[in-house]
């Protein structure tokens, strides 16, 4: 696809300073963008967004009263699908933090322009912006409602995907993480970010979904040729599921039914699973442990996946969050967190898995630091069982190799 300028974009400029708005709108007109609206504060911006389809927003961060952060929050709350360009005079580190915030909100932040405005910067940032209604399959990315989830579970099918995990010592696959997907009857694959938060609001639903994902994954894995006695299967467990007293025995029953042993099953406890009454959570985790399941602290370094949890509960493994791993070669803070987490895991005598390994350079860096295992797009994205079988019957990507996509 050729990246080009789309002059029909609907652009909204939000800045409290009239001269800044005027010069940007004139600049945009000179570049051929003639569909521009303007707002001098966040309230007027909200009004425009409620009534028109906006593709790109230029937004000042520093405004009196409600500021650019308030607008970002509003855009996140309304699942804004367009692109955002910030107008800021702030230093790089602050700009980087704003970038992280936008990412957490799942907003598309394309970059920054600084005052005084440079037309060449504006032009570069608009390159490749597309009209909102041209974006494909946004429906599959939006959060489904309770009713839509019922429909999906009734008429669609739960299709577990598998992301392999590799040893950094010998490049061999050592296991997989099971990730939920639902195939809608119209063949669209719906991703967990769209349905897990909805399912988690209803204990019955997240339990049913988790059980379906796990049982289907076990059933598919036990019929294929890739598993061996050291192979681990990691499943994601959220708080509602963890708090159900019957879950540990249910898991043991299914583990045995499909010919696995609990030592091969890793329960990845996500941030939300660790949020709640600490004693109750600890009891459930210890029950799983006493049945010999492996416990892993997922997304380590974010939210509730903290050092305190690591101290309180006998985890076998920590999974370092991809947000640190992905930037470990270009951000010294990410590098410090990655290095110290690896040292800490080694000192605690537990395994450490880096998630979000996207390049060979990151893989080599992690291996040099003594990180045990890695998972990420460099090796493979999450794939169906048939693709997994093909993949694991090939050698892992090595020096000079290419990511399997
Ligand atoms: O697979 P990604 O592929 O997009 O997964 C997104 C998020 O959804 C991850 O944080 C992952 O932990 C979570 N997730 C995926 N599958 C499951 C599942 O079966 N149960 C729970 N609770 N979370 C899941
Ligand atoms: O939160 P949890 O670790 O359970 O979820 C794994 C999530 O990370 C899934 O959404 C999966 O698709 C995603 N993921 C796995 N590997 C990579 C990677 O290399 N890069 C990025 N950006 N995401 C990844
Ligand atoms: Mn996980």
* Residue among 327, 281, 289, 287 nearest 306 (CA): 281
Q: Rounded to two decimals, what is the model's pTM?
A: 0.72
The number of the ligand nearest the C-alpha atom of 379 reads 2
| Residues 266-295, mean pLDDT to the nearest whole number | 86
pLDDT at 1: 39
CA of residue 352 to ligand 2 center, whole Å: 16
H or E stretch including 316? none
pLDDT at 332: 92
Given a cut of 70, whether residue 4 has pLDDT beyond it is no
82 lines ligand 2 (CB under 6 A): no
H or E stretch including 48? helix 42-51
CA of residue 72 to ligand 3 center, whole Å: 28
The residue with tokens 């696809």 is 1
Strand positions, DSSP E, 44-123:
56-60, 83-87, 108-113
Contact 285, 309 (CB under 8 A): no
pLDDT at 239: 85
CA of residue 197 to ligand 1 center, whole Å: 10
Q: Which atom of ligand 1 is least distant from the CA of 161? A: 1
Q: What is the pLDDT of residues 335-351, one digit of tens each?
A: 999 999 999 999 999 99
The winner for highest mean pLDDT among 103-112, 291-300, 308-317 is: 291-300
Q: Which atom of ligand 1 is least distant from the CA of 180? A: 16
Q: What is the pLDDT of residues 95-129, one digit of tens each?
A: 778 888 888 888 888 888 887 888 888 988 898 78
CA of residue 313 to ligand 3 center, whole Å: 18
299 lines ligand 2 (CB under 6 A): yes
CA distance 94 to 101: 11
298 lines ligand 2 (CB under 6 A): yes
Given a cut of 90, whether residue 366 has pLDDT beyond it is yes
Q: Which atom of ligand 2 is least distant from the CA of 268? A: 4
Structure confidence at residue 396 as a pLDDT band (50, 70, 90): low
180 lines ligand 1 (CB under 6 A): yes
Q: Which atom of ligand 1 is least distant from the CA of 273? A: 22
Mean of pLDDT over the chain: 88
The order of strands in the sheet holding 108-113 is 36-39, 11-14, 56-60, 83-87, 108-113
Q: What is the pLDDT of residues 349-362, one digit of tens each?
A: 999 999 999 999 99
């Amino acid at each position: 696809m050729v990246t080009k300028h789309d002059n029909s974009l609907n652009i909204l400029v939000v800045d409290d300073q009239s001269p800044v708005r005027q010069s940007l709108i004139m600049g945009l007109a000179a570049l051929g963008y003639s569909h521009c609206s303007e707002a001098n504060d966040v309230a007027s911006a909200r009004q425009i967004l409620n009534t028109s389809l906006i593709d790109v927003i230029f937004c000042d961060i520093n405004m009196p009263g409600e500021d650019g952060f308030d607008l970002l929050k509003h855009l996140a709350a309304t699942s804004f699908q367009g692109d955002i360009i910030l107008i800021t005079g702030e230093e790089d580190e602050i700009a980087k933090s704003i970038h992280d915030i936008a990412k957490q909100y799942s907003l598309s932040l394309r970059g920054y322009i600084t005052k005084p405005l440079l037309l060449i910067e504006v032009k570069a940032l608009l390159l490749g912006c597309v009209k909102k209604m041209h974006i494909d399959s946004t429906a599959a990315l939006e959060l489904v409602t309770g009713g839509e989830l019922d429909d999906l579970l009734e008429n669609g099918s739960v299709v577990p995907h598998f992301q392999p995990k590799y040893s950094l010592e010998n490049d061999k696959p050592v296991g997989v993480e099971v990730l939920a997907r639902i195939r809608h009857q119209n063949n669209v694959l719906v991703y967990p970010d769209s349905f897990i938060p909805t399912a988690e609001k209803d204990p019955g639903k997240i339990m049913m979904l988790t059980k379906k994902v796990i049982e289907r994954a076990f059933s598919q894995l036990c019929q294929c040729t890739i598993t061996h006695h050291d192979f681990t299967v990691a499943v994601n467990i959220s708080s509602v599921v963890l708090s159900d007293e019957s879950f540990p025995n249910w898991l043991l029953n299914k583990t045995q039914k499909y010919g696995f042993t609990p030592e091969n099953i890793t329960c990845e406890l996500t941030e939300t699973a660790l949020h709640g009454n600490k004693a109750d959570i600890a009891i459930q985790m210890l029950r799983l442990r006493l049945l010999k399941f492996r416990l892993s602290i997922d997304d380590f370094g974010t939210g509730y996946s903290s050092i305190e949890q690591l101290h309180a509960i006998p985890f076998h493994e920590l999974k370092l969050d991809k947000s640190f791993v992905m930037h470990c070669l270009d951000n010294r803070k990410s590098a410090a967190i990655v290095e110290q987490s690896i040292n800490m895991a080694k000192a605690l005598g537990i395994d450490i898995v880096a998630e979000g390994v996207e390049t060979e350079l990151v893989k080599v860096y992690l291996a040099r630091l003594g990180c045990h295992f890695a998972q990420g797009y460099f090796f493979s994205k999450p794939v169906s069982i048939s693709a997994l079988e093909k993949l694991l019957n090939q050698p892992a990507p090595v020096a000079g190799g290419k990511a399997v996509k």
